[in-house]
Structure 1
Amino acid sequence: MPQSKQSNTDAYSLILEAIDVGVYKPGDRLVESELAERFGVSRTPIREALQRLETQSLLERDGRSLIVASLDHNQMAELYVVRRELEGLAARLAAKHATEEEIRVLQDMVDADDALVNDSSALSRANRRFHEQIHLASHNRYLVQQLDLVHRTMALMATTSLAAEGRGEIAQNEHKNIVDAIAARDEVGAQQALQDHISVAFMTRLKQDAIRREK
């Protein structure tokens, strides 16, 4: 039984990561036999992982097939509203509860990520690590769980807002402002800085979508 449970967890994590890094994009069909062969896992845990992902709305039905879900305009807007509030709360709690070591890690992350501003894919991965570190620094397990689900759903967006021209450098400056507020134990300032950061990211994505619709 423990081995079966571990296999289920592994299959779920493997598929989720493949969606997250873009191996499977919105609209792609997921086939049990192909996934089992790719990941070296039997079909039973793959089937259970797919059911779990469907329950979380990360996959959807297309006839008898399961495909990676996509977000329409309203779903994206709803997601950003929730993300803005939860991320802001995480920053506020991080300003209150983060250890000095956790703050130092955030500062080091921002410094290191400056070198990635011209590589949107690498910066997107670094951005995710940065936000996850703030979540952990909030020291609230229930908030971390909710933000984990929000960030999984973000993977259903085909592109990153960090791909917009100049957005990488701007985002880095926003990250620095967030960390400065956390380091200063400015709870209100940290919350506002992170909420502003999410708002700008949302506006950037809306502009990207408008440009794509014109093509």
Structure 2
Amino acid sequence: MTQSKPSPTDAYSLILEAIDSGTYRPGDRLVESELADRFGMSRTPVREALQRLETQSLLTRDGRSLIVASLDHNQMGELYVVRRELEGLAARLAAQHANAEEIEVLRGMVAADDALVDDPRALSRANRRFHKQIHLASHNRYLVQQLDLVHRSMALMATTSLAAEGRGAMAQTEHKAIVDAIAARDAGAAEKALQDHISVAFKTRLKLDADKRERRG
């Protein structure tokens, strides 16, 4: 029985995951032949995947090379504005439509993630999983699609706001408040709790960036 050849979709998902996990970071050069070797596939699906990622502005050109894109100050602000509104809507809809099992899964995630507050990278992965679960609990496929696009762009930020001192524990407290509001079926409170959570994350990231510029100066 012959195995099917990897598709451009497979290559796209693998490269996207590598960017999302920090294997490839903003400014890193992506070489078609090296990626094909890394993922054990031919260069054709890799080439098509790279073209798709470039079209989505996740990759950009540096001369003839493709590199992982980065977000400037204005782009980061624009992204957080959109994320705050869409995430808030997801929480509102989750409070209205999530079933009991989905709420229990969210509670379990928050409880398990308490053990990760001193590991920013692990907590960042867990944070993405938690937010994705809220998106799914909204039971709105079009909103989930838009939030997927937003979160792909979030991968273009070189660091996580959870790396700031004390931010991990604070984020966990915010996550608990979000889940409590969803469980109480309080749509307005759930929306506000998640929007406030995103606002705090944005302010934290701005401070991290300001501190980084000061060190360079």
**Residue type of the alignment partner of 1:24:** Y
Whole-Å separation in 2 of the counterparts to 1:23 and 1:98: 34
Is residue 60–residue 69 contact of structure 1 (8 Å, CA) maintained in 2? yes
Deviation, 1:120, is 0.5
User: How many aligned residue pairs are there?
Assistant: 212
Specify every segment of 5 or more residues in structure 2 that has no aligned partner in the other structure, as ranges: none
Q: Kindly indicate whether residue 173 of structure 2 is the aligned counterpart of residue 176 of structure 1.
A: no
- Determine if contact 1:19/1:25 at 8 Å carries over to the other structure: yes
Shift of the alpha carbon at 1:7? Answer: 1.4
Over the matched positions of the two proteins, sequence identity in percent amounts to 82
Q: Which residue of 1 aligns with 2:62?
A: 62
**Matches of 2:13 and 2:59, distance apart in 1:** 14
- Normalising by structure 1, what TM-score? 0.97
The match for 2:162 is: 162
- Residue of structure 2 in register with 1:111 after alignment: 111
Residue in 2 aligned with 1:214? Answer: 214
2:197 aligned residue: 197
CA distance in 2, matches of 1:74, 1:32: 30
Question: Given the two structures, how large is their TM-score scaled by the length of structure 2?
Answer: 0.96
| Residue number in structure 1 paired with 2:134 | 134
Gaps of 5+ in 1: none
SS at match of 2:26: coil
Q: Deviations over 1:129-176 (max 9, x none)?
A: 000000000000000000001101100000000000000000000000
1:82 aligns with 2:121: no
Q: Is the 8 A contact 1:91 1:134 kept in 2?
A: yes
- Moved beyond 4 Å, runs of 4+: none
Q: Distance in 1 between the 2:10 and 2:46 partners?
A: 9
RMSD: 0.8
User: Deviation at 1:41?
Assistant: 1.0
- Give the superposition deviation at 1:213: 0.1
Counterparts of residues 89-108 of structure 1 (less than 5 Å): 89-108=89-108
